[in-house]
Structure 1
Amino acid sequence: MLRPTFALMNRSLRLDVRRRRFHLLRLIVVSVLFVLLLMAQGRSWSLAAPGLSFFRTIAWLNISLIAISGIGFFASAITEEKEEMTLELFMIAGIGPLAIMIGKGVNRLTAALSVLVVQIPFTMIAVTLGGVKARQILAAYVALAAFLFLVANIGLFYSVLCRRTGHAMAYTVITIGLLLNGPALIGKFMTALIARGFLTSGGTIAQSATTLSQVLHDASITTRMDAILQTAFNSPAIGFQVQSNLAAGVGLFVTAWLLFNWFNAGVSHSAPSRGWVSRPDRLLRFLAPARPWKNALAWKDFHFLTGGKMLILVRLLLIPLLTLGVYFSQLVANTWGNWWDLNMQNLVGVSLVVLAAELLVQSSRIFHEEVKWKTLGNIALLPQPIGASARDKLRGCLLGCIPAILWLSIGIAGSHYEILRNLYGLSEGMWFVCGLAEFVLFLHITAYLSLVVRWGALPLAVVVFATYVALSMSCLAAMLAGLLINGSETGSAAMAAYNAIAATIVSGLLYAAIGRRLETAQGL
């Protein structure tokens, strides 16, 4: 009776076992653990509990990777079938919603759990280094597995409800962010409202918010991990966090199953979504796309990838509104100062965040959209080099960043004295250059992965970039550069210069790799 329900899952698991990338992923995880172990061993003479320090690094790294996997790995489980117009084929073949969810979700959960399981024998070495017990390690992995189960079902839930992978990823990011930071946000917000006299500490709203904050705090993986990493930890491995995460995950899975047919009736897509661009209102007709420019690829990507003039207007209004929101939150938190200086500094910060987010999103989509809709081969057939076509697409994407660049320029003009003061000095200037070089590297990693993987290029790029930063900062060459002049500003600048040069070299290699991938586009 249950055999048809698990048929798709069995097939997916068998295919995953034969794929090299999952075995390569486990090998990379073990390699990272080995590097961290060597670092912990090298610092053992200066630490009271090197084993605890080693395991703490692994635990928090796992929490970060699980949160990222929910964004790129689980949130695309069902939406990828919708976007490839194959979900209805499953239904026509008699594969029901439960079988689809199990087949597309459970195999991914199994692959992610295997990454956790393969770590356990290696992390047990932390016991021999001192400061941590085997009981703590096992309790930590039980907590991580429960958190992974919850994150997987959050991603699967939004993948069922949303029609686009991007939307499912966005909702997953918001939900995971609220789970990890919700208790602190609620506590600070209620404290500020009570301090301002808007609420009373004994009122119904304040008491309800306190109860909700406490429940979220107890169910949080961060709270549980902090408790496990205490030397005096002696609690059962299955606590409230494990129970609540498992219960919430099951609830989300059942809810998604019940809503599956309602949200997935007639979901076929024969063309990419054009968003607001394809629905101009009479009053906003001037924002609709005009005739194509001479540079047709730049015109296409400006209107259909960045949102065109409509989203240019939205960004122009959104950035100052976010800046005012930050300013009012500072007032609530009793952060006083000259309102002009505060707003100009906030404007610089908000504009930088928006600009960085736009560049990262566009770098993950600039080639992926062409690959997904199988149009990259057509672009390769144009009577110009593929590199020229890529640069035309880049120009169209950069036009969407005009609002952020405009507001950033205004903010810099209004707070340039403070900015120059913070960047004054050899060390500060070199680290600023290093940050720019590594951000450019981040963009290249994202663009390259968008040509390699089907989904989740940006979350995977976060993992790859974080691994690169960790390895480059711990590299012997970087440490030697910093120790040439121990404790001086020149030593810090030398480390920054080394990292900037390394990031530039790797960016150049990735640029060449992207070019080679694009040159093979005619065969796609």
Structure 2
Amino acid sequence: MLVGALQLAKLSLLIESRKRGAHAIRLGLMLMLYQMVCVAQGSTWKSASGLQLFQSQLLATAFFLSSLAIFGFSQSVTEEKEGETIGLLRLTGITPLSIPIGKNGAMLLEALVLVAVQLPFTIVAITLGGISWPQVYAGYAALVAFLWLLAAIGITMSVCRPDGASAARTTATVVALYALPPFLTSLSSRPEWQAMCETVGAVSLPVQLMTVTESGFQGSAWSPAVWFGIVAGIGCLLFAWWKFDSMAILEVQSGRSPLRLGTRRISRRAWSRPIIWREYVFSNGGLFWTVVRLAVPAVMFFLILGQNSGVDLGFVSAWTAIYAALFGILDGTWSVSRLFRDEIRYQTWSSLVQTPRSLSQIYADKIYGWGLGLAPTILAPFLFIYLTFMFHDFPIHSTMTMELMVGTVTVAMSVFGYLHLLILMSLYIGWKAIPATLTICFMAGWFYVISIFTARMDVYARCGAFFGTSVVITVVIWVLRGKILHRLEVLAETA
């Protein structure tokens, strides 16, 4: 078992080391940490500025590790299942446990490098003051335990789920259910909800990362949350080992690959625009997932309303708009990163470009199909923002309303620009474009917001700046579109 796992880990490490995406992720994390150091140096007049810097470092690294689990660890075994090569690996005598561990060995080392990257920045945080060595030990223990748990969850879903998309969605759902409930206590006034969140928070590693960075922390690094992460990770790996043969090998032997399943369940005729129909039905789940995307914001609204009975409906609508926007960004990020990457991966792009439609028309049709499938997710935040204007008590023609409307348009254009950049980068570095693009856009947005508020503009000046920003982003989107078409043309010629 050990020899097979080492062989697969060595091969995976060799392949991963030659990809630009891994280096882009590490560079993105370093730039984000450097930005945090610059902000901390500018606020040295505050007490415990080093502790705040350390907290920001831990949370940023946890975000990168979560992205690695959702889009990386969850795809390792599903790639072999979709390529129908697991049987060949088993014929070599490699055990079921060696395959997921070996396939994810390189990724686990890459994630450990992400943890090690912040060591110099931690020294800077210690120099700035407000942080003790017990906090450093406890923070890194919680971070490594969180990495171990995320990797185990991703590996388990990669074994149990039939394709990469469902594995990523399931991993994201499990991670969200584990990490989010303790942070929602501030939105609830019900004692039973708070009691449940406190129980989950006792074993939540994200909560432990926040706890160790509280002023005066002197607890042990081996907290219940750390032990839970270690034990739960081992349990996930044992479950993946137990289910590997029944859910991976037998699935391939029966010939039920994701592509065959897709062709079997669709029997009706295609639309007059078949590429739009193909993108809507196959890539975005068709009518079923449209209904799901319609239901998610509605469920969010009633959950927040139930937890905060008697409050202003404008408050509930505003929070629903925020959560719906976050859900939309996550949903759109995953789907748009696969918009053309799956065509390259499954070697269908060269056939698609041989259709009578031009490259620009194919690009437009795929975008239209994606937008049709994601329409509920895209429109939900704007709907609840409009409801906020209706239910809140400030006048509809006030300057605050004007700024919110213009700012909302600017944010929407920024998100569309982010998605175009993600499409372009995914054609170069695959799924690793997700954390890299998020880092770029986060840093750009951070500098933009800081510049707007430090300039001390009035409302009308800010609205003018927002409008000018929207125009600039529109030009950037047009330029990115040209770059995407050029890259697709190159990929079509080399396929």
Q: Structure 1 length as normaliser, TM-score? A: 0.80
Q: Which residue of 1 aligns with 2:105?
A: 106
Q: Which residue of 1 aligns with 2:487?
A: 517
Q: Which residue of 2 aligns with 1:470?
A: 443
Q: Which residue of 2 aligns with 1:49?
A: 48
Contact 1:59 1:140 in 2 (8 A): yes
Contact 1:323 1:343 in 2 (8 A): no
Could you tell me which of 225, 231, 235 is aligned with 2:219?
235
Q: Which residue of 1 aligns with 2:309?
A: 334
Cα offsets for 1:153-195 (capped at 9, x unmatched): 011111111111111111111111121123466998894669x
Q: Which residue of 2 aligns with 1:451?
A: 427
Q: Secondary structure at the match of 2:250?
A: coil
Bigger Rg, which one = 1
1:37-436 equivalence runs, <5 A: 37-45=37-45, 47-183=46-182, 191=190, 214-268=198-252, 272-273=258-259, 278-279=264-265, 289-290=268-269, 292-308=270-286, 310-311=287-288, 315-316=290-291, 319=294, 323=298, 326-327=301-302, 330-331=305-306, 333-335=308-310, 359-401=332-374, 417-418=390-391, 420=396, 424-436=400-412
Partner Cα distance (2:327, 2:215) in 1:
42
- Following superposition, the deviation at residue 119 of structure 1 comes to 1.6
- Following superposition, the deviation at residue 377 of structure 1 comes to 0.8
Partner Cα distance (2:162, 2:469) in 1:
41
Partner Cα distance (2:202, 2:416) in 1:
39
Partner Cα distance (2:315, 2:200) in 1:
33
Partner Cα distance (1:59, 1:347) in 2:
27
The one-letter code of the counterpart of 2:53 is F
The one-letter code of the counterpart of 2:248 is N
Q: Which residue of 2 aligns with 1:9?
A: 9
Q: Secondary structure at the match of 2:251?
A: coil
The one-letter code of the counterpart of 2:40 is A
Q: Which residue of 2 aligns with 1:205?
A: none
Cα offsets for 1:124-152 (capped at 9, x unmatched): 11121122234422331221011111111
Taking a change above 3 Å as real, the CA distance of residues 444 and 254 of structure 1, as seen in their structure-2 partners, is: same
Partner Cα distance (1:417, 1:190) in 2:
25
Contact 2:74 2:171 in 1 (8 A): yes
Contact 2:40 2:50 in 1 (8 A): yes
The one-letter code of the counterpart of 2:350 is G
Contact 2:304 2:316 in 1 (8 A): no
Taking a change above 3 Å as real, the CA distance of residues 271 and 502 of structure 1, as seen in their structure-2 partners, is: farther
Q: Secondary structure at the match of 1:257?
A: helix
The one-letter code of the counterpart of 1:315 is T
Structure 1: runs of 5 or more not aligned: 195-208, 281-287
Contact 1:277 1:303 in 2 (8 A): no
Q: Secondary structure at the match of 1:389?
A: helix
Contact 2:52 2:213 in 1 (8 A): no
Q: Which residue of 1 aligns with 2:458?
A: 488
- Following superposition, the deviation at residue 375 of structure 1 comes to 0.8
Contact 2:321 2:384 in 1 (8 A): yes
- Following superposition, the deviation at residue 29 of structure 1 comes to 2.7
Q: Secondary structure at the match of 1:234?
A: coil
The number of aligned residues is 489
Partner Cα distance (1:4, 1:38) in 2:
46
The one-letter code of the counterpart of 1:279 is R
Partner Cα distance (1:266, 1:382) in 2:
36
The one-letter code of the counterpart of 1:522 is E
Structure 2: runs of 5 or more not aligned: none
Taking a change above 3 Å as real, the CA distance of residues 494 and 191 of structure 1, as seen in their structure-2 partners, is: same
Taking a change above 3 Å as real, the CA distance of residues 318 and 27 of structure 1, as seen in their structure-2 partners, is: closer
- Following superposition, the deviation at residue 14 of structure 1 comes to 4.0
Q: Which residue of 2 aligns with 1:439?
A: 415
Q: Secondary structure at the match of 2:81?
A: helix
- Following superposition, the deviation at residue 412 of structure 1 comes to 8.3
Cα offsets for 1:448-495 (capped at 9, x unmatched): 2442344x36xx4255224423244326xx6555444x2632454465
1:23-34 equivalence runs, <5 A: 23-34=23-34
Q: Secondary structure at the match of 1:145?
A: helix
Taking a change above 3 Å as real, the CA distance of residues 328 and 14 of structure 1, as seen in their structure-2 partners, is: closer
The one-letter code of the counterpart of 1:323 is A
Q: Which residue of 2 aligns with 1:202?
A: none
Q: Percent identity?
A: 23
Larger RCO: 1 or 2 (CA < 8 Å, sep 6+): 2
Taking a change above 3 Å as real, the CA distance of residues 489 and 448 of structure 1, as seen in their structure-2 partners, is: same
Contact 1:481 1:494 in 2 (8 A): no
Taking a change above 3 Å as real, the CA distance of residues 154 and 190 of structure 1, as seen in their structure-2 partners, is: farther
Single out whichever of 404-413 and 152-161 deviates more from structure 2. 404-413
Partner Cα distance (1:35, 1:412) in 2:
31
Contact 1:301 1:393 in 2 (8 A): yes
Supply the RMSD in Å over aligned alpha carbons: 3.8
Partner Cα distance (1:342, 1:227) in 2:
28
Q: Secondary structure at the match of 1:75?
A: helix
Cα offsets for 1:369-418 (capped at 9, x unmatched): 31222110112223442111111222333333566689889878877745
Contact 1:445 1:461 in 2 (8 A): no
Partner Cα distance (2:51, 2:87) in 1:
51
Single out whichever of 138-147 and 220-229 deviates more from structure 2. 220-229
Q: Structure 2 length as normaliser, TM-score? A: 0.84
Contact 1:12 1:107 in 2 (8 A): yes
Q: Secondary structure at the match of 1:266?
A: helix
Cα offsets for 1:491-514 (capped at 9, x unmatched): 544654565455444433322221
Cα offsets for 1:106-126 (capped at 9, x unmatched): 221111011111221232111
